[in-house]
Structures are given as structure tokens and as C-alpha cells.
Amino acid sequence: MRLQSFCMNIVTTIGVLFVLAAPSEGHVILDDPNGGEVLQVGSQFTITWRIQISHNLQNWDLWYSTTGAGGPWINIAQNLPAGSGAVNSVHTFNWTIPDAPSTQVRVRVRMDNSATDYLDISNANLTIEAVAVPGDGDGDGDVDLLDFDAFLDCETGPGGGAVPAQCQAFDFDGDNAVDFRDFAEFQLSFTD
């Protein structure tokens, strides 16, 4: 019993030291993105956060992860100006969405203070998706001879019925047919 009590005191002490050494949550609130958003590569998104408990604020740091809340964390912006340190003051940053498609994206904000730092992380995953390139049937980001072969396989002619999912990239005019009209647009999209 004495050994168990001694070990519990060590665990408690280590736990307290860990909490004091690690950034704490709850003093800054990440409002957006907070989970469920679908963001397109290359688009702009305004990250928004606010102060819940004021401290001796020095600056802000922002990161994102493509593998969920556990990281690893990739830099968005470091040492952003502190701005207002008042409770409920809103802070923003316009983020250009990186070319990092994932369905497990999280964003993290850190309130960098003169003493303890505080952070918040998106409550749920958001998605970064690649921008679809019309005519890119194989999803490699360009329209080339491989896509031409796929186009030929998908060609239905006028009034050909529902276009299968793997052929949607070739239905340029959205008429549920892959036909000569779509081929004219496909030729203009050709990159290689």
C-alpha cells in the first residue's frame, strides 16, 4: 500500500508537470474551420478565432494537419500580430488552401503568450479536395493522351443516357452524353 501511494504521488506529480509544460486549451476558441467544411485547393478560406480568457498576448501561430488531431502539424503562419487582447476579440487570417488533399484535415491556433501558451484545434475533420480539371479522366491533373483514350471509351453519342461516374469528366456540357460537343471542349482542354 505504501509503494502504491508513493507511485500514485509520482504519477500525479508527473501529470501536473506535463500539464504545466504543455500548451493548454480553452483560452482561445477556433471558430472556423471547426469541422465538416470542404475546401478546394487554391481557394481562400478565412480562419477565425477569438480570445476567451485574456493573457499577456505576444502573437498567434496557425498550423494544419492532414492526418487528424494528432498531427504532424504543418505551418500556415507564425508570429501573426497580436491585435486586440480583449476577451471575445475576433482574429482572422486568410489562408490559401494548399495542394494537400485529405479528408482528415484539422486546423490549430496557438495564443503565444509571455508565459503559458494556449491553443485550440478544429473539433472535427474538414476536407481539402483537389480542383477537378475538366477532361482529366484519370485524375492526374492534366488532359493528355491517356485521357483521350478514356474519352473514346466513354463516348456515348447524342442522347446516350446516364453518363457513368468514371466518364463525368468528359460530359462538358452536362447533357448526360459524351458526344461531339464534349469532344470540341475536350480538345480545348488538352494540355500535353
Residue-wise pLDDT tens digits, 61-89: 999 999 999 999 999 999 999 999 999 99
pLDDT at 101: 92
Q: 126: helix, coil or strand?
A: strand
Q: Is residue 135 part of a domain?
A: no
Q: Could you list the residue range(s) of the whole structural domain that residue 40 is in? A: 23-129
Ordered DSSP codes for 25-88: ESSEEEEES-SS-EEETT-EEEEEEEESS---EEEEEEEEESS-TT---EEEEEEEE----STT
pLDDT at 7: 35
* Banded pLDDT at 176 (limits 50, 70, 90): confident
C-alpha dist (Å) from residue 13 to 6, 116, 143, 183: 11, 18, 61, 70
Same domain, 151 and 62: no
Q: Is residue 173 part of a domain?
A: yes
Whether the per-residue pLDDT at 20 is higher than 50: the answer is: no
CB atoms within 10 A of CB 110: 20
| 97, amino acid identity | I
Nearest to 52 by CA among 93, 81, 24: 24
* Banded pLDDT at 192 (limits 50, 70, 90): low
Same domain, 30 and 88: yes
CATH of the domain at 75: 2.60.40.770
CA dihedral 53, 54, 59, 63 (to 10 degrees): 0
* Banded pLDDT at 48 (limits 50, 70, 90): very high
Same domain, 149 and 120: no
φ/ψ (deg, to 5) at 89: -70, 135
pLDDT at 45: 96
Q: Is residue 8 part of a domain?
A: no
* Banded pLDDT at 25 (limits 50, 70, 90): low
What's the average model confidence in pLDDT over 16-43?
Answer: 75
pLDDT in tens, 118-174: 999 999 999 999 877 788 888 777 888 998 998 999 888 777 677 888 888 888 888
Q: Is residue 106 part of a domain?
A: yes
| 135, amino acid identity | G
* Banded pLDDT at 17 (limits 50, 70, 90): very low
- Considering its fold, how many domains does the chain have in total? 2
